[in-house]
Amino acid sequence: MDSSGKFLTLILANGQGWQILNRKTDLWLDKISLIMQLRHLPLSHKYPKCITLPLVKNKHTFKEAVDFAQKVLRGNFPLTGWDTYKLYEIWFHPETGNLIFAFPPSQNPKEEVMNMVKFLRVIGYEVLGRGGLFIHSGLVEKRRKAVLFAGLSNSGKSTSCRRIRAPWKSWSDDETLLLPRAGKFFAQPFPTWSQCLSGKSLPSWDTKKSFPLKAIFFLKKKKRNRVIPLSRAKSVTYLDLATYVIYHDFSQKWLSRQKQRLLRTRLFSNICNLANKVPAFLLEVSLKGKFWKKIEEVV
């Protein structure tokens, strides 16, 4: 909560989100607020709450978090029904969507940024139950029509995002959150965390933005620019690879085997739904030429 009584609020592309209540973690919140350009909004029952606090050895962190939330929210915070992740001090409430996240002490700015990544990996798990998913991709948009540049590392996502010209605009080049709303998928830009770990001044991304997703392009470096339509089966295969880098390590390190199975089931279901609703293409990209003209032929 800031000096005006407002709370840092992460709003997702489907209108849902979390309000963050901090317990002695102001510096972390200041940084993630700058990086993600988050909003400060009055307390609202519309959004579940995420309680953040330091992880202190030999201290009952969960009780401290619940007592703090009960005080700030005047008793409107559940005492029972909580579940936990396997590794870090993270609790979640399946019925209300509330989260508690106890951060390990950060010895340097890089560890602080890694705590932010851990926090957003939890968000990535939670949105699976809402039909959404994170995908390893760049996000570009023209006149509120968004397309993704997806692919493995070194496939040309960042380069293509830099090369594209107006009226196209690049919003992110590494991670995109997709969420269903009103029968469509909406794309929301998220940070490139490797840039935040560079040790230089913190970059920022406007994560308040979201756009209707019109197409997904899986990049492949070639000598000429060409667009090839993909079948739904091929699209599912490519999407599975594009989500692997985000969800695999998180699943293996943080979740019990039961929750790992739930993650795989939900993720595959969401991938199939995405492939059914959004056309996918293989985009062969050269180092020269206006490859975005090929995109405009099919979008």
Q: What is the pLDDT of residues 270-298, one digit of tens each?
A: 999 999 999 999 999 998 889 999 999 99
Angle between helices 257-277 and 109-128 (to 10 degrees): 70
Comparing CA positions, the residue from 214, 213, 219, 238 lying closest to residue 283 is: 219
Question: What average pLDDT is seen over the chain?
Answer: 89
Q: What is the pLDDT of residues 251-267, one digit of tens each?
A: 888 888 888 999 999 99
Least confident piece of the model among 105-109, 179-183, 210-214, 224-228: 105-109
Q: Which of 29-43, 60-74, 77-91, 170-184 has the highest mean pLDDT?
A: 170-184
Q: Regarding predicted confidence, which is higher, 84 or 173?
A: 173
d(CA 268, CA 239): 9
pLDDT at 175 over 60: yes
pTM over 0.85: yes
Q: Please report the domains of the chain, with CATH numbers, ordered by start residue.
A: 7-105 (no CATH), 133-298 (3.90.228.20)
**In b/e form, how buried is each residue of 173-188, taking b as 16+ CB within 10 angstroms?**
bbbbbbbbbeeebbbb
Q: In the structure, what pLDDT confidence band is assigned to residue 90 with cuts at 50, 70 and 90? A: confident
Half-sphere exposure of 151 (CA within 13 A, CB side): 22
